[in-house]
């Protein structure tokens, strides 16, 4: 797979970076500055669940952060945050007023790198790719908004990438195959010369395979290898193992 690769793209969230703390904890920390306190001991845990549920629903209703509905990404995230809090009991008019202020602050809060945690293997992988595989073009391929550029600069990894394909800015989003077709056309490579790695089978694997390009799924549990339609050889446990593969050290055992 790797000998013909000229373009390698990475998903971002849960592949290269994650939030430093639980979403619910960060939400509550900022909300408390606007006079909102936890309802009970499990408020943070319930916020985590509510956020995941509402993110999925809102992304279906208003995909790509509301781009085609003429929403700003801040408006989209503000709605998501307010829906998430409403689900766990913050429904009073006074709550909504405070949440409107808190949601705007949270949007800005998550635009900086200090709220994000870099995968411990990411920097070494990107650095070694630059040193040992200089002919491979590196790209970001992410469903994200315009804040991603700043986040990656703050984390000091933006300079590794030749291209940034960010859904909100290019007007296309995963799992749309056109998102990956756009990448091929922009970089001018053939499908067999393209490899994408991510953590989500529906977003990062199946649509890439459908355009006859190469894809790998990063899954520490390796459970993705049991999903129908996924080649077990296309599942790697972590970036460290992927680094060994891409740098032609295929004989190391998966850990």
pTM (2 d.p.): 0.92
Packing angle between helix 43-61 and helix 73-87, nearest 10 degrees? Answer: 130
CA 145 vs. chain centroid, Å, equals 10
- Does residue 92 or residue 168 have the better pLDDT? 168
pLDDT digit string (tens) for 101-125?
999 999 999 999 989 999 999 999 9
* pLDDT at res. 122: 98
Can you tell me the distance from the alpha carbon of 149 to that of 237, in angstroms, rounded to the nearest whole number?
27
Diameter of the chain by CA atoms?
61
Can you tell me the distance from the alpha carbon of 57 to that of 71, in angstroms, rounded to the nearest whole number?
16
pLDDT digit string (tens) for 229-240?
999 999 999 999
pLDDT tier, 16 (very low <50, low <70, confident <90, very high otherwise): very high
> Omega into 148 within 30° of 0, i.e. cis?
no
Which H helix or E strand runs over 8? strand 7-10
Can you tell me the distance from the alpha carbon of 6 to that of 33, in angstroms, rounded to the nearest whole number?
48
* pLDDT at res. 255: 45
Sequence-distant (6+) residues with CB within 8 A of 190 are: 184
pLDDT digit string (tens) for 176-196?
999 999 999 999 999 999 999
- The beta strand positions in 185-244, using DSSP E, are 194-198, 214-218, 235-236
Could you tell me if 127 and 106 are in contact, meaning their C-beta atoms sit under 8 angstroms apart? no
- In the sheet that holds 214-218, the strands lie side by side as 163-166, 137-142, 7-10, 194-198, 214-218, 235-236
Q: Over range 127-148, report the average pLDDT.
A: 97
Count CB-CB contacts under 10 A for residue 108: 11
Residue 62 in this model has a pLDDT that exceeds 90: yes
- All structural domains of the chain, each given as residue ranges with its CATH number in brackets, are 7-16+119-246 (3.40.50.1000), 21-114 (1.10.150.720)
């Amino acid at each position: 797979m790797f000998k013909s690769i000229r373009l390698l793209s990475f998903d971002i969230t849960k592949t290269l970076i994650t939030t430093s703390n639980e979403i619910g904890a960060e939400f509550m920390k900022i909300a408390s500055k606007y006079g909102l306190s936890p309802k009970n001991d499990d408020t943070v845990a319930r916020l985590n669940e509510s956020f995941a549920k509402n993110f999925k629903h809102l992304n279906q209703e208003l995909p790509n952060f509301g781009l085609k509905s003429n929403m700003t990404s801040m408006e989209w995230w503000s709605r998501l945050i307010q829906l998430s809090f409403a689900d766990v009991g913050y429904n009073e008019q006074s709550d909504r007023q405070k949440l409107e202020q808190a949601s705007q602050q949270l949007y800005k809060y998550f635009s900086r790198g200090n709220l994000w945690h870099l995968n411990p293997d990411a920097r070494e992988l990107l650095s070694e790719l630059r040193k040992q595989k200089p002919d491979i073009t590196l790209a970001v391929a992410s469903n994200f908004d315009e804040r991603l550029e700043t986040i990656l600069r703050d984390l000091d990894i933006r300079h590794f990438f030749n291209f940034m394909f960010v859904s909100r800015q290019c007007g296309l989003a995963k799992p749309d195959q056109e998102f990956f077709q756009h990448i091929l056309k922009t970089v001018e490579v053939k499908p067999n010369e393209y490899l994408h790695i991510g953590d989500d089978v529906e977003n990062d694997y199946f649509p890439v395979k459908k355009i006859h390009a190469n894809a790998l799924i990063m899954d520490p549990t390796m459970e993705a290898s049991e999903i129908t339609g996924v080649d077990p050889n296309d599942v790697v446990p972590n970036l460290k193992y992927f680094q060994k593969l891409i740098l032609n050290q295929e004989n190391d055992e998966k850990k």
